[in-house]
Amino acid sequence: MIKLIEKLPKAELHLHIEGSLEPELMFELAKRNNIKIPYKNIEDVKNAYNFTNLQSFLDIYYAGANVLITKQDFYDLTWAYILKCVENNIIHTEIFFDPQTHTQRGIAFETIISGIVEALKDAKEKFGITTAIIMCFLRHLSQDDALKTLEEALAYKKYILGVGLDSSEIGNPPSKFEQVFKKAKEQGFRLVAHAGEEGDVSYIFEALDLLDIQRIDHGVQSIKSDSLMKRLKKEQIPLTVCPNSNIELKVFENYAQHNIKELLDYGLNVTINSDDPAYFKGYLNQNFINLYENLDLSKDDIIQLVKNSFNSSFISEDLKKEYIKRVEEIVK
Ligand code: ADE
Ligand code: ZN
């Protein structure tokens, strides 16, 4: 089965590009930009990645992003992830970036987006990988800050397919961002949001009803509401589930306790993703393998999860068909 997981072409729909910053590149960029980081060596970094919840991770993740300064840095970061896509057989990826993490430090929006876009262009040319960019608002900041960010992003609209919502969930409900999502919708952006990662089901209801999102990032708390489960099944609203992340951030105690198999068996449209792979011990294939080794996932379950990822992506119907045909060719 592990061979099959590796061979299957896959889509990734929940990946923070800043979360793909490996310690080796962090050190290289710190040196290149003369930035101090609070680690002596790679070993030291890895020891620090010992999280107790989402916030304990976010503190370290934002500190890590401080080494990203130039367009070349954003290119190198994105290119390193693209090489992981090749290794993991990811043929389509929709990546998140957090502009406010960088603009707050005085980095220009142009610098960030141009480095990412150039690497994604090379990914298409060299490997045929298709991509999209989703800009996330940091929910621990104000809606006014998000509105300013949306305004700034309009100059780069042709590169940005959608907007999302991430960072510290509890205490920062979707209702805080109703106006900015309404504006983003008017501008034609696709809409997604992190909801029900640590937060209760009210965060998911708000994301659906007030923000009008098309995909729920995480959403694993849905299981606590019968009416929500029924609605998610009926409407086939995708959940971008991130197993390694959920274990590392103690949303579930271990892989055997993860509820993805229950969500799948109930008939929800769930997908598997890596979230912040440099921080959560592995890229997409490793997420599949960890689930396969600890839950009773069948070959059909794995194929279903992979097909769901293409069907839940923002690509054209024709491209979905083409990619799903490629999956079927591997499994026949
Ligand atoms: N930013 C990066 N990873 C995140 C996660 N899992 N939840 C919320 N915000 C994030
Ligand atoms: Zn995430």
| Cβ of residue 198 lying under 6 Å from some atom of ligand 1 | no
| Cβ of residue 16 lying under 6 Å from some atom of ligand 1 | yes
| Cβ of residue 167 lying under 6 Å from some atom of ligand 1 | yes
User: Quick one: average pLDDT of 291-317?
Assistant: 97
Tens-digit pLDDT profile for residues 211-240: 999 999 999 999 999 999 999 999 999 999
Which residue CA neighbors atom 1 of ligand 1 most closely?
A: 167
Taking 90 as the threshold, does the pLDDT of residue 266 lie above it?
Answer: yes
Residue 169's pLDDT is what?
98
In the CATH hierarchy, which top-level class contains the domain 2-330? Answer: alpha beta
Which residue CA neighbors atom 6 of ligand 1 most closely?
A: 275
Distance 15 CA to ligand 2 centre (A): 6
Please tell me the distance from the alpha carbon of residue 275 to that of residue 20, in angstroms, as a whole number: 8
Of 180, 179, 177, 117, nearest to 150 by C-alpha is 180
Which residue CA neighbors atom 9 of ligand 1 most closely?
A: 167
Tens-digit pLDDT profile for residues 149-189: 999 999 999 999 999 999 999 999 999 999 999 999 999 99
User: Quick one: average pLDDT of 251-268?
Assistant: 98
Tens-digit pLDDT profile for residues 148-159: 999 999 999 999
Distance 313 CA to ligand 1 centre (A): 19
Quick one: which ligand is closest to 165's CA?
1
| Cβ of residue 54 lying under 6 Å from some atom of ligand 1 | yes
User: Quick one: average pLDDT of 278-304?
Assistant: 97
| Cβ of residue 248 lying under 6 Å from some atom of ligand 1 | no
Q: What tokens does 8 get?
A: 């299957």
Q: What tokens does 252 get?
A: 């579930």
Taking 90 as the threshold, does the pLDDT of residue 269 lie above it?
Answer: yes
Contact 178, 207 (CB under 8 A): no
Distance 314 CA to ligand 2 centre (A): 17
- What are the C-alpha distances in Å from 81 to residues 58, 70, 162, 264, 269? 20, 17, 20, 28, 26
Of 80, 71, 73, nearest to 22 by C-alpha is 80
Pocket test for ligand 1, best of 21, 57, 59, 141 (most atoms within 8 A of CB): 57
Which residue CA neighbors atom 8 of ligand 1 most closely?
A: 167
Of 147, 156, 173, nearest to 111 by C-alpha is 156
Contact 261, 296 (CB under 8 A): yes
Taking 90 as the threshold, does the pLDDT of residue 296 lie above it?
Answer: no
| Cβ of residue 275 lying under 6 Å from some atom of ligand 1 | yes
Distance 13 CA to ligand 1 centre (A): 13
Catalytic residue list: 197
Please tell me the distance from the alpha carbon of residue 77 to that of residue 138, in angstroms, as a whole number: 20
What mean pLDDT, rounded, does the chain reach?
98
Q: Among residues of the chain, what percentage have pLDDT more than 90?
A: 99
For the chain, give percent helix, strand, coil, nearest 5.
Answer: 60, 15, 30
User: Quick one: average pLDDT of 24-47?
Assistant: 95
Helix axes 143-153, 178-186, angle to 10 degrees: 20
Q: What tokens does 198 get?
A: 């640590």
- What are the C-alpha distances in Å from 176 to residues 45, 228, 233? 34, 21, 27
Please tell me the distance from the alpha carbon of residue 147 to that of residue 179, in angstroms, as a whole number: 8
User: First and final CA of the chain: distance in angstroms?
Assistant: 14
Taking 90 as the threshold, does the pLDDT of residue 108 lie above it?
Answer: yes
| Cβ of residue 196 lying under 6 Å from some atom of ligand 1 | no
Please tell me the distance from the alpha carbon of residue 122 to that of residue 159, in angstroms, as a whole number: 14
Taking 90 as the threshold, does the pLDDT of residue 94 lie above it?
Answer: yes
Distance 62 CA to ligand 2 centre (A): 13
Which residue CA neighbors atom 10 of ligand 1 most closely?
A: 167
Pair type for strands 215-218 and 90-97: unpaired
Tens-digit pLDDT profile for residues 36-67: 999 999 999 999 999 999 999 999 999 999 99
